[in-house]
Amino acid sequence: MNRSDPLWRGGRPGFDDFNRYATDLGPAWSVNRGAWIDDGRANADLPGVDQAAVLGLKCADCTVRSRVIAFGMATAALELRESSGNDRYDVVLLANGRIQIRRHNGIATTVLGEAASGIADLTDWATLSLSAAGAGPVQLVASVNGVVRLIVSDNSSSAIVAAGTAGMTTDRSGTKYLDFVTGAGSSGGMPDAGTPDAGAPDAGTPDAGTPDAGPPTGVLFFDDFKRTNPSDLGPRWNILQGLWRDNDKANSDLAALDRAKAAGTSCADCRIDAKMVNFGRGDALLELRGGTGTRYALALRSDLWVEIRRYSGGTVTVLGSAPGGIGPNNEWNRFAFAVKGTGPVALTAFVNGIQKLSVADSSSSALTGSGSAGMAASMSGIFFDEFKLSAPP
């Protein structure tokens, strides 16, 4: 293992390269379920669930990382904060190539978020990583091949806040692990939008040109819909599809897709804050980087999960999803959707001020340019209010 690895800097890790041959995993491991052999790799050896955990390890804010291969036929999971009762968090690579972050409380499993893994070939090795930090809420970050793919927060009463061990689990024999490492530290997250550090600027000579104004910042658009209009949303909005009306709130008015965008606005790194209620009947969406047939969207689904999507022509790609943590479905809640960057594009969803989901889009189909901002509904009778578009300084 490279000593420049951030897990070394965070504290001495547990590390196993499985470079041996044995009928078990050796004295550093506890086999909780199933069977394992070591053939130069940790190799699950019993049809059904095989689970193993590191002995003598206890950490709360830490990272687990390993190379895995499941051949697109099984699940392969890495675990943190595992208790003696088998409560734990995990990141799991599914047989369909997607990843999930899950919480296990005894025999109850809760999916906290799901996203595309970006793995092109499931028959080749890939590196999975899961980091856990904090307690109120617990923030969990999943990476694949060094790229952050999914960030979720767990602020439920069932959140696992105590320190625990790390481990690995699969549901099929023949799933293999290599270069298993765990320790205090972070696998890395998406760049935040915070204030730059106070370091001195470089000493380069400024050019002689007039500095450009750069992209607009601050509040770019706001509408509280405090008016009555039976047939549209007024001159500050462009109706793209369907029908809308305004009765002290924006109200979708066609039993099909209804879309509207804020007129005269365009931004790349920006954020929408809005109140929404869908009554559990259809999707309520906030849209950014809108173009001709393309856009990113945060959707509140009828089951009250939130989902981040990319629309490109007629193709809809679900980049990630997570429980919204709200209810009942007939009450207003506050949502925010932020998009930033190009390589990759970082997309983050907030519900009532709490980050629920963050994903990265590093695909060739990523939307990297500026675009419109707006809202959409999959049917009539979905409400929006206090729509604000802003851009960071």
- For residue 393, pLDDT beyond 90: no
288 and 153, same structural domain? no
Residue 217 has pLDDT above 90, yes or no: no
Count of domains forming the chain: 2
Range of the domain at 81: 6-184
Q: Is the same domain home to 39 and 148? A: yes
pLDDT higher than 50, residue 315: yes
pLDDT band (50, 70, 90) for residue 185: low
Percent of the chain, pLDDT > 90? 84
CATH code where residue 120 lies:
2.60.120.560
Same domain, yes or no: 163 and 282: no
Amino acid at 164: G
pLDDT tier, 200 (very low <50, low <70, confident <90, very high otherwise): very low
Mark which of 184, 205, 240 sits at the end of a domain.
Answer: 184
* 201 located within any domain: no
Both 174 and 229 in a single domain? Answer: no
Average pLDDT over every residue of 75-85: 97
Q: For residue 210, is it within any domain?
A: no
Q: State pTM to two decimals.
A: 0.81
Residue 205 pLDDT exceeds 70: no
Are 171 and 224 part of one and the same domain? no
Residues 134 and 266 in one domain: no
Are the CB atoms for 317 and 365 separated by under 8 Å? yes
Question: pLDDT value at position 195?
Answer: 33
Residue 173 domain-assigned (yes or no): yes
Q: To the nearest whole percent, how much of the chain has pLDDT over 70?
A: 89
* Least confident window among 82-96, 215-229, 307-321: 215-229
Structural domain contains residue 36: yes
**What is residue 343's predicted lDDT score, i.e. its pLDDT?**
86
**Per-residue model confidence as pLDDT tens digits over 269-286:** 999 999 999 999 999 999
